[in-house]
Amino acid sequence: MSAFLRILAFIINAIACVVNEILNVIIPRRKPTYPPITNPLLLKSVTDLLTDLKERKLTSEKIVTAYIERIKVVNASLNAVIEDRFEEALKEARRADNLISKAKDEFQMLLLFHRHPLLGIPFTVKESCGVQGMSQCVGSVARKNEKCPKNGDVLELLKTAGAIPLLVSANPEFCLAFDGDTRVAGKCLNPYDLRRSSGGSSSGEASLNGAGATTFGLASDISGSIRLPALFCGVFGHKPTGGLLSVRGHFPFSVTDKDFPFYLQMGPITRFARDMPILLHIMAGENASKLKFEEEVKLDDLKIYYTYSMGSFLHVPADFEMKLAITRAVKCFEKGGISTEEVKIQGFKNAIEMCLSSLANIKGLPSIITQSIENKPNKVELIKEITRSLVGLSPNTSMPLFVELMIQVNAFIPSEQAKEWRSELKNLHAELTRLLGTNGVLFLPTYHKTANFFNGSSFLNISGVLFMLLFNVLGFPATHVPMGLDRKGLPVGFQVVAAPYMDKLCLQVAAELEGAFGGWVQPQES
């Protein structure tokens, strides 16, 4: 069955290469129809906004109002918002301003922001992550009127820190697709090219961040769902170490599978790399001490390893622009005297089998069709529903149904072989942990190309997801770093991976590259 997977992957990759070239030629870019940012407040990082709030140069109400106005302007083009809470957010901003006004001296101000380190900062939330009283249908027609009964754990940590949620944003059905396109909400579009996808499953968060319509977003990632949209929309996105953050309150969620909270992680999407450490520290809650942010990252001791591929012709090759982004970053660090080395990691060759055998083993997720954990459709019923979906006769979208089918058939991998691949995954985990240690990072493509078109091309390019998915099943932290725009005005970049709980290395490298290459670029500047 491994041979079947490999042959299938080869055929799909070959078709994808041809289709990608044709589409790039025949479909012109549709530039943003919304105006560029004119309010300088919207170009400030979270850390800068916090400084202004402490010094009383800005009010939370003014910040929240500015972002609400920007969201309304861009969402008419992007369709990224599922449900907003603007009125409640303004009330919370006034309460934050009231607390700040009561601080009589610098000591009281420091104490206030020690207790509430994000006091008065607005942000946005992926719908699946759970905001009490807000929509949590997660792209499902059957859940169309579903409201979240309770804040998710990470959302509660952010609110306790004083941050103010503005809205819940678009994601695909059950977060099981690489485009934000559902029967419920339609297409969530890319801020750089309105004919292209903003990625998935954190579609709305990346779209809003790319358009400069939020300070940061709370998102989730089980197979690249933070990093892929971050690439497509030109922003930073961090997938933390497996198991670091609580995922309670997320939908979908498995209460019976011990690996699910390890594979799935919540994390930040943001325009500014320098904001990620404080955001991750707050999101990690009681586990924050494991990150050892108090220990300085010594760049002189940093070791950079890099690779441009997964090491096999069966894996889709990265485009020239993606490889160039890695090369530019490597050369930048070399000029600074940092050690770099190109590596070929043999274990990557079997990424298809290792990843699929791990994900297919997840239990306890509800069926997309029946909405039930116990009562699930059989294989024939799933195939029928996929067929109906492809011709527009199903209330469900085809990619999530296909994923459910793949889990049911164990990804066409016999159970004994699946155990062997999961054992090999453990060996790869040990090999990479030894290689990276406490001062090493790995540069490799986030995905093999720039943003896909909305026409099924995401399915054809599905094997490119292995660049990201592998580090979900391994549990390694990974940060997508934007590296400017290509000749078509689309964002390019790559991911930085470190050993477990060495997230701070990823974030420090991202901040260094932001300083050297500029990070996020406004869509209108392209």
Of the residues 198, 225, 367, 398, only one is catalytic, namely 225
Q: So what's the pLDDT on residue 520?
A: 98
294 assigned to some structural domain: no
Q: So what's the pLDDT on residue 262?
A: 96
- Residue 140 to residue 145: CA distance in whole angstroms: 10
314 assigned to some structural domain: yes
Of the residues 44, 54, 126, 449, only one is catalytic, namely 126
Active site residue 384: no
What length does the chain have? 526
* Predicted TM-score (pTM) above 0.75: yes
Peptide bond into 252 cis (omega under 30): yes
Q: Strand, helix or coil at 38?
A: coil
Active site residue 126: yes
Query: Which secondary structure element, helix H or strand E, spans residue 216, and what is its range?
Result: strand 216-221
Peptide bond into 201 cis (omega under 30): yes
Give residue-wise pLDDT tens across range 337-366.
999 999 999 999 899 899 999 988 899 999
20 assigned to some structural domain: no
CATH number of the domain to which 221 belongs: 3.90.1300.10
Q: So what's the pLDDT on residue 526?
A: 58
Over residues 33-42, the mean pLDDT reads: 96
Q: So what's the pLDDT on residue 524?
A: 82
- Residue 300 to residue 144: CA distance in whole angstroms: 53
Q: So what's the pLDDT on residue 478?
A: 98
Burial 310-328 (b: 16+ CB within 10 A, else e): bbeebbbbbbebbbbbbeb
pLDDT band at residue 242 using 50, 70 and 90 as cut-offs: very high
Over residues 492-509, the mean pLDDT reads: 98
Q: In whole numbers, what is the pLDDT of the chain averaged over residues? A: 95
Tell me how many domains the chain contains: 1
- Residue 48 to residue 54: CA distance in whole angstroms: 10
Query: CB 301: neighbour CB atoms within 10 A?
Result: 11
* Phi, psi for 515 (deg, rounded to 5): -65, -35
Of the residues 60, 169, 197, 201, only one is catalytic, namely 201
55 assigned to some structural domain: yes
Query: CB 116: neighbour CB atoms within 10 A?
Result: 18
pLDDT band at residue 2 using 50, 70 and 90 as cut-offs: low
Extract the tokens encoding 159: 């609110």
State in Å, rounded, how far the first CA of the chain is from the last one: 46
Active site residue 312: no
232 assigned to some structural domain: yes
Over residues 147-176, the mean pLDDT reads: 98
Q: Is residue 312 over pLDDT 80?
A: no
* Phi, psi for 195 (deg, rounded to 5): -95, 0
13 assigned to some structural domain: no
Q: Is residue 166 over pLDDT 80?
A: yes
23 assigned to some structural domain: no
Q: Is residue 1 over pLDDT 60?
A: no
450 assigned to some structural domain: yes
Domain carrying residue 113: 43-286+301-525
Q: So what's the pLDDT on residue 316?
A: 85
Give residue-wise pLDDT tens across range 197-233.
999 999 999 999 999 999 999 999 999 999 999 999 9
Q: So what's the pLDDT on residue 13?
A: 85
Whether the CA torsion 517, 523, 525, 526 is positive or negative: it is: positive
Q: Are the C-beta atoms of residues 151 and 378 closer than 8 Å to each other?
A: no
